[in-house]
Amino acid sequence: MGPLHGLSGLRATGIPDSARPASTPAASKGTDFGALLERTLVEVNHLQHRADTAAEDLVAGKVDDVHDVMLAMTEADLSFKLMLEVRNKLVEAYQEVSRMQV
């Protein structure tokens, strides 16, 4: 499992193949984007919990392989940073649209 494995199905448009319907009306595209964001947040949360569990297992002596623990922690960190950057871009876009309306 590589870093950001949850995003491996994304294409240049940022929409995973599984969420890409053959043809959808323009009104339903907002729900697809919302569902994509929700799935991404759930995946990032899962990676954070997995990294926490791996670190706890290492400290408790249940796991001897530090490499796997570091991989889980790095994967969770990168996923969180990516999610944070997407959030920042969404906030910037919202602020830009708000400025246009004034």
Put simply, whether the predicted model's pTM sits higher than 0.85 gets the answer no
Q: Which residue has the higher pLDDT, 92 or 25?
A: 92
pLDDT of residue 25: 52
Rounded-to-integer distance, Cα 82 and Cα 89, Å: 11
Q: Give the model confidence (pLDDT) of 34-55 as tens digits.
A: 898 899 999 999 999 999 999 9
Q: What is the pLDDT of residues 14-37, one digit of tens each?
A: 445 555 555 545 555 556 888 988
Given a cut of 50, whether residue 2 has pLDDT beyond it is: no
Domain extents in the chain: 31-101
Token pair listed for 80:
């969180």
Q: What percent of the chain is predicted at pLDDT more than 70? A: 69
**Cα gap 52→73, rounded to integer Å:** 8
